[in-house]
Amino acid sequence: MKALCWNGVKDLRVETVPDPTILNSRDAIIKVSMSSVCGSDLHLYNGFVPSMREGDIIGHEFMGEVVETGKDVRKLKKGDRVVVVSVIGCGECHYCSSGSWSLCDNSNPHAIMQEKAYNYSTAGIFGYSHLFGGYAGSHAQYIRVPFADNGAFVVPEEVPDEKAVFISDAMPTGYMAAEMGNIKPGDVVAVWGAGGVGQMAIQTAYLMGAEKVIAIDSFDYRLQAAAKFSKAETLDYTSTDILDALKEATGGRGPDVCIDAVGMEARTTGIEQIYDKAKQKLRLESDRPAVLRQAIMACRKGGTISVVGVYAGLIDKFPMGVMMNKGLTMRGGQMHGQHYVQMLIDLILQDKIDPSFLLTHPMPLEAGPEAYGMFNDKTDNCMRAVFLPNM
């Protein structure tokens, strides 16, 4: 089959590789119909996530058709049209049983590696480095899905592919971002990053009763999409003093909930950007936390910071004094997709959320390297490129 493989920093190649096979009895093989790029893939693309190996197949947001099932697969059958959650959960450990699927005890074959880095191991993720299990990703014609009954969900006919594919990652991540913010009616929510996850967080925040959501980004087309599709107010951090503008928008109180949908490659302006870039280049800090710092500064006293942008390692100049004295609550995490899928399907069926505007660039898998270049450089107004590997 054809697959998009990581070979080094900004070096992706479409290769012919063997087809996946069933390796464990709860596996299924999925013929991929759609596989989306995700902002978090850019951290792999730009070389900021450790433990990538040449030849790794990347991609984790996908859907397709079940073509083979292992002998212990009970719910799925050949021919099912399914969307697959990007994190892998065994379904039996304490974490999966209590809905915290991305903290699964048993789905990471390289648990020993993650224990060395994080002291505990978390769930495996498709195509997201060996630290997260080294599973082959979805930018391929076929993919093996472990614990398939847990992670693959049959999509109702009424939900078309261009909506369903985002139930894999962008929608549950945005949903969980808003949920961790514990939004109450009347709250003002600020969302940093108006990409796929940020847009979904904005829409969910409104569903949860937010009075007003403010999107912060620097790309005009993304801010326009946030205003048009997600009904957010928008701020461009390159031309606005964000702390001041957020006070102005909230009668001086500050946003009740601040969502970081950017993560470790945050950009900002001026000396702070130069400082973090230099430290990251020299490997003195692995992640650039400009958004996180600004969110902590901007948040109202007693407010909540919700972090779904991906961080991998260490950050520098963390404003702990601000966080502590302002009495902030901070939560973060990879999304527990399996916990949200059924509800998200219902929200789509009820027309309360429509993520299809994210799919700006349907592309063949062969265009993988160009698609990532475009997505990384934010050219051609790209929200998300989605591969159709079997077209």
Partner 1 sequence: MAIIYPDMYRNTGKDHTGMMTDPQVINVNTPERIFSVIAGTFLIYSGIKSLVGHPVAAASKLVAGSVLFARGASGHCPIYERTGTDGVRPQNINIKQYFTVNKPREEVYQFWRKLENLPLFMRHLESVTQTDEKHSHWKAKFGSYLPSVSWDAQIVKERENEFIGWSALEGSVIENAGKVEFKDAPGGRGTEVQVVFSYHAPVGGIATGIAKLFNPVAENIIREDVRNFKQYIEAGEVPTTTGQPSGRK
Which C-beta is closer to partner 1: that of 289 or that of 368? 368
311 binds partner 1 (CB under 8 A): no
- The partner residues of 82 in beta bridges, in order of sequence, read 64, 154
Strands (DSSP E) found in the chain? 2-8, 11-16, 28-36, 56-57, 61-69, 81-84, 87-88, 124-125, 142-145, 152-154, 188-192, 212-217, 233-236, 257-260, 304-307, 329-332, 359-363, 384-387
Candidates 3-11, 36-44, 312-320, 343-351; binding stretch for partner 1 (CB under 8 A): 3-11
Among 81, 144, 222, 361, indicate the residue that binds partner 1 (CB under 8 A): 144
108 binds partner 1 (CB under 8 A): yes
139 binds partner 1 (CB under 8 A): no
What residues have CB less than 8 Å from 303, skipping those under 6 apart? 254, 255, 256, 257, 258, 326, 328, 329
304 binds partner 1 (CB under 8 A): no
263 binds partner 1 (CB under 8 A): no
138 binds partner 1 (CB under 8 A): no
Tokens of 351: 């027309």
Q: 112-131 mask for partner 1 (x: CB under 8 A)?
A: x-----------x-------
94 binds partner 1 (CB under 8 A): yes
- Cα gap 345→25, rounded to integer Å: 28
Burial of 133 (0-12, 13-18, 19+ CB in 10 A): buried
Count of positions on this chain that bind partner 1 (CB under 8 A): 44
249 binds partner 1 (CB under 8 A): no
372 binds partner 1 (CB under 8 A): no
Which C-beta is closer to partner 1: that of 90 or that of 292? 90
- Shortest reach from residue 113's CB to partner 1, in Å: 11
- Cα gap 215→100, rounded to integer Å: 28
- Other C-beta atoms closer than 10 Å to the C-beta of 224 total 13
Instruction: Indicate the DSSP class of residue 156.
Output: P
Q: Which of residues 53-72 bind partner 1 (CB under 8 A)?
A: 53-57, 72
Which C-beta is closer to partner 1: that of 55 or that of 160? 55
The binding site for partner 1 (CB under 8 A) comprises: 1, 3, 5, 7, 13, 15, 17-21, 23-26, 53-57, 72, 88, 90-94, 97, 105-109, 111-112, 124, 133-136, 140, 144, 146-147
